Structure 1
Amino acid sequence: MDILLVGCGKMGGAMLRRWLDAMPARFAAVNRSGRALPPGTEHATGADALNGRRFDAIVIAVKPQQIPDALPAYTGLLAEDGCYVSIAAGFSAASIGKIVGDKPVVRIMPNLPALIGRSVNGLYANAACGEAHRELANQLARATGTAVWLDSEDELDRLTAVAGSGPGYVFEITRSYVAAAEAMGFSPETARALVLETMGGAVEMATRSQDDVTDLRNSVMSKKGTTEAGINALRRDGLLDTLLEDTIRAAYDRAVELR
């Protein structure tokens, strides 16, 4: 199987590394990011350099705003029974169809932990896709983490707002948590270690447990203890819930704008 990756930035490169290890396929990549390609990847400078070769799948990994300009050059390189696979946030299958015609299109919405095989991948296939196209997309997704099939692109945009953009929220919350630990007098190195180990342990415990996270939170608190005092401050005026709802809503609204 021959697969062409159009664009090889941070996300495309992260997924490509996992695919090379997990899939019996030949990969070529059009790379203008300046990043070195993983060993075993054929490098192409553009569509002309591929000399009309046909690919079983063309993976669209450029920024959504670049797709209308970048994709037309590659429409003649898809094999007759091939499919397009897009990992671009927000840009709909219908919008891709306006460029490539009535072709099978699968959208995969990954997140950055694809780099370590822990991506949460949402998948949506248009009506032109057959079982073989869905299976290929499933293999691509599972090589980088989990695969969650969705029934609509609106649902995929909602997943983008929660999981696709989610690592950014987590890193920003972590940054603020580390800064608060430093304000308590810890060195930056110690503050970072304390916060990351605490967060990592708590998330792993929640993942392994069947208990609701509210019950897990309550299990840490004792009446009038230190944790209760901290939680009361964190939940003051419902600000945390409102802030996170607004965060996810803003990301979703932007995904809708990009359709």
Structure 2
Amino acid sequence: MTKILLLGCGNMGGALLKAWAANTDHEFTVADPARPDLPEGVSQVGSVEDLGEQLFDYLIVALKPQLIDNVLPDYLPRLKPSGVISSIAAGYAAAKLAEHAPGRSVIRIMPNLPAVIGKGVSGLYAHGPVPETASSEIERLALCSSDIVWVDSEDMLDRLTAVAGSGPGYVFEILRAYVEAAEKLGFSKQDSLNLVLGTVRGTLELALDSDLSLEDLRKNVTSKGGTTAAGLHALNGEEEFSALIGRTLQAAYERAVELR
């Protein structure tokens, strides 16, 4: 049986662990002194001493980045010689993980927030030579809670972070502004929320189910000289909104590079 040690178990790590435990037959152990609420069958230890002589096939880092340098070295001896390191920690480069364990295979997973409800999008990056069995196993774990995109460099993972990792924050802010604008048109806060979230949910499901491009779908709802056309002109008549989204992603990407 595959044995996996999860180092740290915060909100994202805990959510992913629930999906992994429910959809695989692996043996999971969590190393976290906070003693989190864990799925049935998952073991928990508060320190490396509690592991005894156990060895693991995979060590998955789910710590805050600033803790990794101090904590990871203590647990590396518990990884089998052929074992693989993976990480869901944002802002901590695979190269840094590899420096802690020269010769080890390293795979980073960049999940986004919707993974906590099984509807995420995750980026995967294999640093250096990684056995096909290991990349397939990490891919299998990621698919438990998200769609996946493999990238071939850490730089592309930073770009994916700007698009998908940080993306829920942008969407929440757009929704907040949309609801606020509806309130200013005279609707109550609750009605504004219902109108906006219902409109967005239906539009998203329509886009997901359609073979048409997003541009064609937009054209189909936009009559010449109509209300939608007027609103779209105010939103992006001179491509201001397109430029703003571009600047948003660029700023997030540049910050991701700084944090490597």
| Range of TM-score over shorter length | over 0.9
Contact 2:114 2:120 in 1 (8 A): yes
For 1:167, the aligned partner's letter is P
Query: What is aligned with 1:44?
Result: 45
Shift of residue 165, structure 1, vs aligned partner: 1.1
Query: What is aligned with 1:169?
Result: 170
Calculate the TM-score normalised by the size of structure 2: 0.94
Query: What is aligned with 1:146?
Result: 147
Cα deviation code 1:158-201 (max 9, x no counterpart): 11110111111111111111111122222222211111111111
Query: For residues 80 and 157 of structure 2, what CA distance do their matches in structure 1 show?
Result: 27
Query: What is aligned with 2:225?
Result: 224
SS at match of 2:9: coil
Contact 1:57 1:82 in 2 (8 A): yes
SS at match of 2:198: helix
Structure 1 range deviating more: 168-177 or 40-49: 40-49
Cα deviation code 1:7-29 (max 9, x no counterpart): 11111111111101101111111
For 2:234, the aligned partner's letter is A
RMSD: 1.5
Calculate the TM-score normalised by the size of structure 1: 0.94
Query: For residues 54 and 21 of structure 1, what CA distance do their matches in structure 2 show?
Result: 23
Query: What is aligned with 2:183?
Result: 182
The answer on 1:204 being equivalent to 2:186 is no
Say which structure, 1 or 2, has more relative contact order (CA 8 Å, 6+ apart). Answer: 1
Question: Runs (4+) of structure 1 moved beyond 3 Å?
Answer: 32-35
For 2:91, the aligned partner's letter is G
Query: What is aligned with 2:90?
Result: 89
SS at match of 1:223: coil
Contact 2:35 2:46 in 1 (8 A): no
Cα deviation code 1:18-50 (max 9, x no counterpart): 101101111111235675223332121122221
Cα deviation code 1:38-84 (max 9, x no counterpart): 33321211222212321111111112232212211111111122101
Query: For residues 258 and 48 of structure 1, what CA distance do their matches in structure 2 show?
Result: 32
User: Structure 1 158/130 Cα, relative in aligned 2: closer, same or farther at 3 Å?
Assistant: same
Query: For residues 126 and 67 of structure 1, what CA distance do their matches in structure 2 show?
Result: 18
Q: Which runs of 5+ in 2 are unaligned?
A: none
SS at match of 1:252: helix
For 1:244, the aligned partner's letter is I
Query: For residues 47 and 243 of structure 1, what CA distance do their matches in structure 2 show?
Result: 47
Shift of residue 90, structure 1, vs aligned partner: 3.0
User: Structure 1 65/192 Cα, relative in aligned 2: closer, same or farther at 3 Å?
Assistant: same
For 1:67, the aligned partner's letter is I
SS at match of 1:123: strand
Query: What is aligned with 1:5?
Result: 6
Aligned residues: 259
SS at match of 2:243: helix
Query: For residues 247 and 32 of structure 1, what CA distance do their matches in structure 2 show?
Result: 37
Query: What is aligned with 1:56?
Result: 57
Contact 2:59 2:79 in 1 (8 A): yes
Contact 1:107 1:123 in 2 (8 A): yes
Query: For residues 64 and 256 of structure 1, what CA distance do their matches in structure 2 show?
Result: 14
Query: For residues 206 and 50 of structure 1, what CA distance do their matches in structure 2 show?
Result: 49
Contact 1:9 1:33 in 2 (8 A): no
Query: For residues 249 and 135 of structure 2, what CA distance do their matches in structure 1 show?
Result: 28
SS at match of 1:210: coil
For 1:119, the aligned partner's letter is G
Q: Which runs of 5+ in 1 are unaligned?
A: none
